[in-house]
């Protein structure tokens, strides 16, 4: 290797080490921030997730529908009033007589109506709306559970990537120490320069691995921010408990059939299906009741006022008489019939509003019967549509239960497989650790080459990474099974 190539390589290594230092500085700044626990992440996601807010609005709309249907049980009542001016030939609203006078009129009316019996159609509608409200609330819980599971998954990715970064950092530190020791031995002539170059190249490789693992941590943090709906530029760090301290139930207590039965009773999605089926059953009964007669009670009262002028005729006798043209015979003698003459005076007056309101006051009450004979098949179509909706919901429940069972059995099988891989990887780490320690001793006394020593070190690093991957997968699969039991997500 030429001197120029060595100079370029050392310059590249200085840049790499500088980058490592800057990355470590940035990481130490991030870890100095207040760290978020999984619980804080879940709470923040639930409080800021748009889908949760939209589903909550749907639940409030269902509550309004339920409350409005309950109020329909009570009688309806209304007050109406009309006022105006009639001109020309019109009917006086107080006398029902034709008039040509311009009058101002006023009418006041009150009416009420109540359903007496409609074959429980209204009650079944109320019951159906109540089940729909409970289903909407359960749908909110289901969405929250899904978000919590997504947050936990992203959180665990950050955890395992950080653990991998920690392992890579330890390996890098060991490589640097090994390189320094080799440098000393090269300087005193115990080892050739090639051994140092090999160790130095291993430091460069381990530095690149450590930088890559740190970048993976940052990428997973960004992914977690996206799940939380948190701005990417916001300073953010999470509290990462050691994998071996995360509480998990024994896999023997997470048998798939038992978990499936608990999931049917506890998971919100299954409650949503059951509640919607109950609501659909009530809607079928309500639609059928709408095809039968309805008995209702009605009542009302009202009055009228008009400012019309009522004529008043006053007749005053004049003391004179006039022939009427009639003749009457009395005792054989004809006499003319005369009548007194009167002077007639015509005056007008208005009836006071209070008097008119009192005199024109009217009331009515009765029972009505409405028999649906033909309405273009709307009522029967609604009944048939509600029955088809019930069939669809039953099929949806069956499909969801099948999917749930498959997911639980898959998670259980994956957990068993991950446990087996973890146990195998742990044994591999133990063996690789012993092999590395033995290789370290042989290398220190000069009985092993640097290349063989580095191979032993890389084998140990790979075994640790494999064990971490199997361990985090095992923990996650167990957490999924705990989630299906209705225990939520806890780290």
Could you report the per-residue pLDDT of 115-131, keeping only the tens digit for each?
988 888 999 999 999 99
pLDDT for position 20: 42
Residue 471: which residues within 8 A CB-CB, separation 6 or more? 243, 244, 422, 425
pLDDT tens digits along 366-396: 999 998 888 888 889 999 999 999 999 999 9
Which H/E stretch holds residue 103? strand 103-117
Using CA atoms, how far apart are residues 292 and 371, in angstroms rounded to an integer? 7
pLDDT range class, residue 70, cuts 50, 70, 90:
very high
Closest CA to 68 of 25, 8, 13, 132: 132
Residues 6 or more apart whose Cβ sits within 8 Å of residue 361? 301, 302, 303
DSSP state of 290: T
Give residue 322's pLDDT band: very low, low, confident or very high (50, 70, 90). Answer: confident
DSSP 305: E
Look at domain 13-48+127-292+377-484 and name its CATH class: mainly alpha
| Token pair 């063996």 in the structure block, residue | 431
9 pLDDT more than 70: no
- Mean pLDDT on 435-451: 80
What pLDDT is stored for residue 8 in this prediction? 45
pLDDT recorded at residue 78: 94
* Helix, strand, coil percent content, the chain, rounded in steps of 5: 65, 20, 20
Report whether 214 contacts 23 (CB < 8 A). Answer: yes
Separation in Å, CA 48 to CA 155, 220, 489: 17, 20, 19
Q: What is the DSSP-derived secondary structure letter of residue 36?
A: B
Tens-digit pLDDT profile for residues 27-59: 444 444 578 888 888 889 988 888 889 999 999
CA-CA distance, 446 to 433, in Å (whole number)?
20
3-class SS string, 378-425:
HHHHHHHHHHHHHHHHHHHHHHHHHHHHHHHHHHHHHHHHHHHHHHHH
Pairing of strands 76-86, 362-370: unpaired
Mean of all residue pLDDT scores within the chain:
83
Residue 2 pLDDT class (50, 70, 90 cuts): very low
| DSSP run (H or E) holding 117 | strand 103-117
Encoding tokens for residue 295?
């008995």
Q: Are 114 and 75 in contact (CB under 8 A)?
A: yes
Q: How far is CA 47 from the centre of its chain?
A: 11
Residues whose CB falls within 8 Å of the CB of residue 76, separated by 6 or more in sequence, listed in order: 112, 113, 114
Identify the pLDDT of residue 138.
Answer: 94
Structure tokens at 235: 């300073």
Chain-centroid distance of CA 143 in Å reads 6
- Say if residue 349's pLDDT is above 70: no
Residue 460 CA to residue 428 CA, distance in Å, equals 8
CA distance 274 to 267: 11
Q: In the prediction, which pLDDT does 351 show?
A: 79
Residue whose tokens read 């639609």: 287
pLDDT at 88 over 90: no
**pLDDT band at 136; cut points 50, 70, 90:** very high
What does DSSP say about strands 76-86 and 103-117: parallel, antiparallel, or unpaired? Answer: antiparallel
Question: What band does 397 get if pLDDT is binned at 50, 70 and 90?
Answer: very high
pLDDT at 282: 95
Name 324's Cβ contacts closer than 8 Å, sequence gap at least 6: 336, 337, 338, 339
Distance CA 202, CA 180 (A): 12
DSSP per position, 53-93: HHHHHHHHHHHHHHHHHHHTTSPEEEEEEEEEEE-SSEE-T
The residue among 175, 174, 170 whose CA lies nearest residue 199 is 175
Confidence (pLDDT) at 212: 93
**pLDDT at residue number 313:** 64
Per-domain residue ranges for the chain? 13-48+127-292+377-484, 313-347
Asked whether 282 and 69 are in contact (CB, 8 A), the reply is no
Q: Please check the confidence at residue 239 and state whether its pLDDT lies above 80.
A: yes
Q: In this predicted structure, what is the pLDDT of residue 31?
A: 40
In this predicted model, which residue has the larger pLDDT, 9 or 297? 297
**Residue 112, both tokens:** 């009420």
């Amino acid at each position: 290797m030429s001197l120029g190539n060595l100079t370029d390589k050392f310059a590249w290594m200085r840049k790499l080490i500088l980058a490592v230092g800057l990355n470590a500085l940035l990481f130490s700044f991030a870890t100095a921030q207040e760290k978020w626990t999984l619980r804080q992440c879940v709470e923040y996601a639930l409080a800021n997730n748009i889908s949760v807010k939209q589903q909550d609005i749907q639940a409030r709309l269902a509550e309004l529908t339920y409350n409005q249907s309950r109020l329909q049980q009570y009688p309806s009542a209304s007050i109406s009033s009309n006022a105006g001016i009639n001109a020309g030939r019109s009917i006086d609203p107080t006398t029902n007589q034709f008039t040509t006078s311009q009058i101002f009129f006023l009418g006041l009316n009150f009416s009420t109506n109540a359903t007496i019996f409609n074959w429980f159609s209204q009650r079944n509608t109320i019951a159906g709306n109540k089940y729909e409200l409970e289903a909407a609330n359960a749908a909110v819980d289901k969405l929250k559970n899904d978000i919590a599971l997504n947050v936990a998954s992203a959180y665990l990715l950050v955890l395992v990537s950080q653990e991998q970064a920690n392992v890579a950092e330890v390996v890098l530190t060991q490589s640097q120490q090994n390189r320094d020791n080799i440098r000393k031995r090269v300087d005193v002539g115990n080892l050739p320069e090639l051994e140092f170059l090999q160790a130095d190249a291993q430091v460069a490789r381990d530095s690149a691995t450590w930088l890559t693992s740190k970048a993976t941590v940052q990428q997973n943090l960004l992914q977690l921010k996206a799940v939380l709906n948190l701005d990417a530029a916001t300073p953010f760090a999470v509290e990462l408990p050691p994998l071996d301290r995360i509480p998990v139930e024994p896999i023997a207590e997470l048998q798939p059939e038992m978990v499936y039965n608990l999931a049917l009773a506890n998971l919100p999605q299954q409650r949503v299906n059951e509640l919607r089926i109950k609501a659909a059953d009530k809607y079928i009964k309500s639609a059928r009741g709408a095809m039968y007669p309805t008995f209702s009670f009605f009542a009302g009262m009202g009055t009228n006022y008009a400012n019309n002028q009522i004529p008043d005729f006053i007749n005053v006798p004049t003391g004179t008489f006039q022939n009427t043209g009639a003749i009457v015979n009395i005792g054989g003698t004809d006499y003319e019939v005369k009548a007194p003459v009167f002077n007639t005076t015509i005056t007008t007056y208005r009836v006071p509003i209070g008097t008119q309101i009192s005199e024109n006051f009217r009331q009515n009450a009765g029972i009505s019967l409405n028999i649906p004979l033909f309405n273009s098949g709307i009522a029967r179509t609604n009944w048939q549509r509600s029955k088809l909706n019930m069939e669809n919901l039953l099929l949806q429940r069956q499909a969801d239960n099948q999917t749930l069972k498959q997911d639980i059995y898959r998670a259980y099988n994956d957990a068993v497989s991950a446990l087996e891989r973890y146990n195998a990887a742990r044994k591999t780490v133990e063996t690789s650790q012993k092999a590395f320690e033995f290789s370290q001793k042989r290398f220190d006394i000069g009985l092993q080459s640097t290349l063989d020593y580095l191979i032993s070190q890389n084998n140990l690093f790979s075994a640790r990474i494999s064990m971490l991957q199997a361990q985090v997968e095992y923990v996650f699969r167990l957490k999924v099974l705990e989630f299906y039991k209705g225990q939520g997500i806890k780290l």
